[in-house]
Amino acid sequence: MFNKKYIRGIAAAIGTVVIAASCLFINTAKADTQPADAGTASTEIRTVQELVEAAKNPEGNYKLMADLDMSGVEWTPWDFSGTFEGNGHSILNLSVKTVSKQTMKTYDGNRKEYDTYGAGFFGVLKNARVSNLNMYGERVEITSTDHCFAAPIAGLADNSDISGCTIKDAYISLTDSAKMWGTGGIVGFGSGNLDNVTTQVTLVCIDTDKQVKDEQFMGGAYAAGFLNIRGCSITIDGYDSDHGYVHNGGLVGMYMVYPLELSKTYAGEVLNNKVKGMITFYEDNTDRRAYCQANMGEVMNWTYAYSGFTSDFKRNETYDYTATLKPEMCANPVYTDTVTEASQDAFGFTTHTCSSCGYTYSDSYRIHEHKVNGYTVVKEPTGTGISDGIESGTCSLCSQTVYRNFAANAVEEEQTGESTADSVKTEKKAGFNTAVGIFIAVVAAIVVIIFIMIAVMVQNNKRRRHRRRR
């Protein structure tokens, strides 16, 4: 005869295990089907490959988990309307040679509208937030016939916030024959907020046609628009060759609130900013404006609170319109390279110095060689031969978490050459298989537990019968 206590015990145990198994199954399945950008949780970016994948999504919440060296990656400016938390990490050697896929409306001083492209880490930011992201040795080099703005963080920013970022040794060059264009030290054109951003940037604008009288802009924080600027530190070295109307500023090329309706009520803030540097420019135009100031080249709306501005700025206007103005002053620079090795506290870089004119710049930033004693897998590879598995370890020198990619083993490497869409599908399938596997394992465990309990009960009953007999 079965004891009621045992039956209740078994029922409770089975119930618990089944509930646990169901929860596990549902959770695993849910995590698998949920889009990466759903909810407020951030998607972690740990490798260059993950950053490149992330930049295919127009929205989402992302968090950078490591310093990434983008050398050798052809970056397309990311049109984005989510949040990007740099988490104090750095992107090294980003190279941008194409403009955004999307355009944004920009406005000149006469409030004429232009469909404009953006170039930078981001192309067009819309209602986005970018924070605590550092950019080292970024180069944005654009040649265009379209309206375009170029800058290290974002070419164009619509109602977007950028805070706590550091930009070092950025080189932003825009060669353009369009009418509406320019370069900025953080953002190109737009609206939103810039808070506590430090930038050290070389800006170059080259106008390639004399026919069009350009609306051309350059600013150490941004070229044009009405972003608020608070606690920013700007170091600018600007070069601007133009045959139209120049609007240059150590801080802002042209401050203008748009659209017109908003400009009647909008109150901005330009507080506690520092500018250091020089803009060398010419304005080859008989109808001259030649705006160039330490703070703002031209101000269309004096509707902002303004205080705490300090500057050490030189307006350097030239009048020889035959030679394009560039940071290197000689026609054929001869560079001597000095390599500064990376340490556990600082990135390494290479400094190039021209022996003829003395122009010097740094690039090729490098992360020190991490020393990791053991890696653990944090993301299984999809098994398509692509190194998309990720493992992590701790560097014994800098104690940072280090991530690296790895591929599935050789047996599964036959399927190389699959398209990205296919590999995404495979990844999802693999995730689902994992969930099913876990479920089967748990069910098997339940069966084993039941089996053991029945065995124990049978044994106990036998013993009891024995005792009774005695």
Closest distance to Zn ion from the beta carbon of 316 (Å): 17
- Decide: 78 and 70 in contact? Cβ < 8 Å: no
Size of the site for Zn ion (CB under 5 A): 11
DSSP sequence for 274-315: EEEEEEEEEE--SS---EEESSEEEES---EEEE--EEEEEE
Stretch that binds Zn ion, among 4-12, 29-37, 364-372, 422-430 (CB under 5 A): 364-372
47 or 116: whose CB is closer to Zn ion?
47
How many angstroms separate the CA atoms of 169 and 81, rounded? 26
Q: Which of 357, 378, 430, 442 binds Zn ion (CB under 5 A)?
A: 357
Closest distance to Zn ion from the beta carbon of 343 (Å): 10
Closest distance to Zn ion from the beta carbon of 273 (Å): 32
How many angstroms separate the CA atoms of 400 and 65, rounded? 10
Interface with Zn ion in residues 101-140 (CB under 5 A)? none
Which residue type, as a one-letter code, is found at position 354?
C
398 or 407: whose CB is closer to Zn ion?
398
Closest distance to Zn ion from the beta carbon of 330 (Å): 3
Interface with Zn ion in residues 383-402 (CB under 5 A)? 395, 397-398
Closest distance to Zn ion from the beta carbon of 90 (Å): 13
266 or 335: whose CB is closer to Zn ion?
335
The angle, 0 to 180 degrees and rounded to 10, between the axes of the packed helices 420-469 and 4-33 is 180
155 or 393: whose CB is closer to Zn ion?
393
- How are beta strands 296-299 and 252-255 bridged, if at all? parallel
Count CB-CB contacts under 10 A for residue 417: 9
Closest distance to Zn ion from the beta carbon of 401 (Å): 10
Count CB-CB contacts under 10 A for residue 370: 18
Closest distance to Zn ion from the beta carbon of 331 (Å): 8
How many angstroms separate the CA atoms of 229 and 250, rounded? 13
Q: Which of 125, 354, 386, 435 binds Zn ion (CB under 5 A)?
A: 354
Q: Residues 303-342: x/- map of binding to Zn ion (CB under 5 A)? A: -------------------------x-x--x---------
Task: Provide the 3-class DSSP secondary structure of residue 137.
Answer: coil
How many angstroms separate the CA atoms of 125 and 138, rounded? 18
Longest dimension (CA), the chain: 123
Residue 335: C-alpha distances to residues 89, 143, 161, 352, 431 (Å)? 30, 24, 38, 6, 52
Stretch that binds Zn ion, among 63-71, 362-370, 421-429, 458-466 (CB under 5 A): 362-370
54 or 402: whose CB is closer to Zn ion?
402
Host H or E run for residue 7: helix 4-33
334 or 456: whose CB is closer to Zn ion?
334
- Decide: 233 and 274 in contact? Cβ < 8 Å: yes
Which residue type, as a one-letter code, is found at position 73?
V
Interface with Zn ion in residues 397-456 (CB under 5 A)? 397-398
Q: Residues 143-172: x/- map of binding to Zn ion (CB under 5 A)? A: ------------------------------
Host H or E run for residue 19: helix 4-33
194, β-bridge pairs:
162, 229
Closest distance to Zn ion from the beta carbon of 396 (Å): 8
How many angstroms separate the CA atoms of 298 and 313, rounded? 16
Closest distance to Zn ion from the beta carbon of 73 (Å): 22
- For residue 370, state whether it binds Zn ion (rule: CB under 5 A): yes
Closest distance to Zn ion from the beta carbon of 327 (Å): 9
Query: From start to end of 86-153, where are the E strands?
Result: 90-92, 95-96, 104-107, 113-119, 122-126, 129-131, 134-136, 139-144, 148-150
- Asked if the peptide bond before residue 259 counts as cis, ω within 30 degrees of 0, the response is yes
- For residue 459, state whether it binds Zn ion (rule: CB under 5 A): no
78 or 403: whose CB is closer to Zn ion?
403
- For residue 356, state whether it binds Zn ion (rule: CB under 5 A): yes
Closest distance to Zn ion from the beta carbon of 366 (Å): 12
165 or 354: whose CB is closer to Zn ion?
354
- For residue 366, state whether it binds Zn ion (rule: CB under 5 A): no
How many angstroms separate the CA atoms of 177 and 252, rounded? 22
210 or 352: whose CB is closer to Zn ion?
352
355 or 433: whose CB is closer to Zn ion?
355
What's the half-sphere exposure (Cβ side, CA atoms, 13 Å) at 270?
22
9 or 333: whose CB is closer to Zn ion?
333
67 or 79: whose CB is closer to Zn ion?
67
Q: Which residues bind Zn ion (CB under 5 A)?
A: 328, 330, 333, 354, 356-357, 359, 370, 395, 397-398
